[in-house]
A and B are shown apart, each in its own frame.
Chain A
Amino acid sequence: MLELRSLTKKFGETIAVSDLNIICAEREFLVIFGPAGAGKTTTLRMIAGVLQPTSGDINFRGRSLKGVPPEHRNMSMVFEYYALYSHLSVFENLAFPLRARRFPDDEIEKLVKRMADILQISELLDRRPGFLSGGQRQRVALGRTLVRDADVYLLDEPISHLDAKLRHRMRGELKAICAEKEATVIHVTHDSREAMALSDRIAVINKGKLMQIGPPDEIFYRPGNEFVAGFVGEPPMSFVDVEYTEEEGQPTFHITGDDTQLPASLEVGAYLNEKGQPDSLRLGVRATEVSAMPAKDETHNVPGEVYVTETLGHRNILTAKLGNKLVQVVTPPEFAFKVKDIVWLDLSPANVYVFSDGLTIAYPRHQDS
């Protein structure tokens, strides 16, 4: 078990990591997920021991790692800017951690070739790093990290520089290798699908702080705040500014910059009546959780103006203007919406998230089942 206790790192006045408390279980695949500058890499480097915390501690299997140098931590790390040995071939780069541990030659050969095969770099084994593309180098670095056994694997954006096709393929391979090794992995990424696909749990961090930690389903379906909701999922959640009133006793939202009204749930009404009008009140609309129709009907009763539509083959993405915001909705390929058409969206309380001053106060109802 790896435990981050009030882990904090300051660079001068800048707080890179702020009071982080995270526990990673043995054999867990934990993803640290956040935007650029969130403190993800800094956290990983402190776990590896190449950076010292300003305060707080890291415990591993019940022992503090304070003062334990990186080489005694038995952690295997791939850096986003992978340092390969430029004078060694790809084969020798992959073999390096095994030679250092005095593996016999035939065992090295077997392990290196298997890893190269999985990462689709077998034909590059004789080359020097200088003759590789960025994506190829990244795979060599990942291979060198995974080829040996370690207590913890620390992976910093290990597949982010690959082009889309290869990245998705490698994502599956990485998950399978780690499952087979029963490895404990801490994986840093800014890619929502990568975080969802790989992890047992996701720790979402922003500006050095932990925003939420939980299994991918929980992060996706029950985001605790607007930041998490907007950062996980693709296409990303759209937000619509609203004001809250009661119309003839019915809790109601008004879309800001528009004269459209839509019903709010009784629970949301009760919450807002007690709290008073928040500074920021927004609806969250996930493109896959609402639908759009060309004609108004009982549930599709919020009008929007088509801003643009995009064809993706098996589905389309419709972007519609709602008040002062753009909202994205996934539509079936057979729907042909034209720019500036009016479309009707189903934004009943059962389909949307509600955020009051950044905190989630209501989730779509289908998730209760």
Chain B
Amino acid sequence: MSSVALEKVWKKYGDVEAVRGISMDIADGEFMSFLGPSGCGKSSTMRMIAGLEEITSGNIYFDGELITNVKPRDRNVAMAFETYALYPTLNVYENLAFPLRAAKWSAADVDSRVREIATILEMTDLLDRKPANLSSGQQQLAGLGRALARKPRVFLLDEPISHLDTRQRGRMRAYIKRLHMELGYTMIYVTHDQEEAMALADRIAVMNEGMISQIGTPQEIFQNPADLFVAGFIGEPPMNLLDCEYHPALGRHVLSYNGITIQMPSHSEALVQQGAIPQRVTLGIRPFYIDIGLETSVRHTIPAEVFVVEPLGDMTVVSVNVLETRLQVAAAPDFRAQPKQTLWLAFDPAHTLLFDAETGHALTNQA
């Protein structure tokens, strides 16, 4: 396996700038996810690493070796796509062995590799079966095993499980993660699904409009999104954002949302002391850190009108309007309310974040 480095990589299609000067280092054995909405440049970046797209400018290195002009087949990368069609006439063992035999592995190496993969995927007792005698879930798993059987320098996966239903996706996610841990692959995993990226990756590169908005561990990105784009993209339900004003004359530790007073984030004290808080700020709070009161209280000071209530089993998502802003609150599974009912919200100041409303950049850092 190899480390991968990108240095000011650009991709232009005519006048369209798909990738705009991306630089990053991916360690040997790291699981890196490229995450972003469609059109953010994540697939183009991956295809340049594979050599399937020419690089407009910039450089790509494997283990410090410049590979920008190396042909795709000489880069020794493996790509896995959505389809996992198995060879119907071959049993599971031969399906897993196929790419290894094609790469001219010795019979002994093929055998030990096939058994290793089958053990991780808990399919050792299925090796003799033909695909037709497998459940659809087992077929998926065997296909994944085959895709990951080789030992290339870098593994590239482009939305490999997005076509599966939720149940199968959750299972495959666990298997992919375990395979990565056991086999120590360098993996680059492209997805638009933030939950998938969070669950799988050692680090996530959040991409937007051809650039990297933030790169970090899932926890770092979840706790301290670098800007409003990342804040809104990571987490489900997404972070709530309220455009507020800061007038120190009216109180140095409070914000105003159209006249509603909201406490400053508790970790913003240093900024308050420095007088470094701009007048227009955006307050961010995740749905999990809002408490609902049926009456107003010392804590529950923000009036909200219920828009819709969605019980999901493990939580109830309550969408409310606070004046013109729609917020979502993750309430207890048995919480119920009627549309148009008034509720009173309490934000936990230990979990609120501040962004500069002008630039969108984060102003504060949660510990």
Contacts and interface: CB of A to CB of B under 8 A. Distances in A.
Q: Are A and B bound to each other? A: yes
B278 to A, nearest CB: 27
A35 B135 CA distance: 15
Given A176-B339, A234-B166, A312-B198, A220 B313 contact: yes
A216 to B, nearest CB: 6
Interface residues of B, number: 43
Nearest to A231: B167
Contacts of B200: 310
Interface string B223-243: 100000000011111100000
Interface in B198-252: 198-200, 218-219, 222-223, 233-238
A239 B240 CA distance: 36
A172 interface: yes
B72 interface: no
Interface string B141-167: 000000000000000000000000111
Given A164-B193, A193-B312, A310 B174 contact: yes
A190 interface: yes
A236 interface: yes
A179 B313 contact: no
Given A168-B237, A197-B317, A333 B219 contact: yes
A312 B195 contact: yes
B126 interface: no
Contact of B181 (A192, A216, A308, A314): A308
B324 to A, nearest CB: 14
Contacts of B286: 313-314
A287 B308 CA distance: 26
Contacts of B167: 230-231, 236
A307 interface: yes
Contacts of A314: 222, 235, 286, 288, 330
Contacts of B37: 163
Interface in B163-177: 165-167, 170-171, 173-174, 177
Interface in A27-77: 35-36
A133 B37 CA distance: 13
A349 interface: no
Is chain A's binding surface mostly helix, strand, loop or mixed?
Answer: mixed
A196 interface: yes
A214 interface: no
B140 to A, nearest CB: 14
A310 B173 contact: yes
B319 interface: yes
A168 B167 CA distance: 18
B192 interface: yes
Contacts of B236: 164, 168
Contacts, number: 111
Contact of A163 (B38, B199, B310): B38
Contact of B314 (A165, A233, A308): A233
A234 B313 CA distance: 8
B194 interface: yes
Contacts of A356: none
A311 interface: yes
Given A312-B195, A339-B178, A197 B166 contact: no
Given A175-B308, A176-B308, A288-B314, A310 B181 contact: no
A175 B238 CA distance: 19
Contacts of A330: 314
A292 B86 CA distance: 37
Contacts of B219: 311, 313, 333
Contacts of A198: 310
Interface in A83-108: none
Nearest to A166: B37
Nearest to A310: B199
Contact of B174 (A163, A216, A308, A311): A308
A165 B219 CA distance: 20
A206 interface: no
Contacts of B195: 164, 312
A254 interface: no
Contact of B170 (A168, A196, A235): A235
Of all A-B residue pairs in the complex, the 5 with the closest CB atoms, nearest first, are: A197-B310, A310-B199, A313-B222, A288-B314, A220-B313
26 contacts: A163-B38, A163-B192, A168-B236, A168-B237, A172-B308, A172-B317, A172-B319, A175-B310, A176-B307, A179-B339, A196-B311, A197-B310, A216-B311, A220-B313, A231-B167, A234-B166, A234-B312, A236-B166, A310-B173, A310-B199, A311-B219, A312-B195, A312-B199, A313-B286, A326-B171, A328-B174
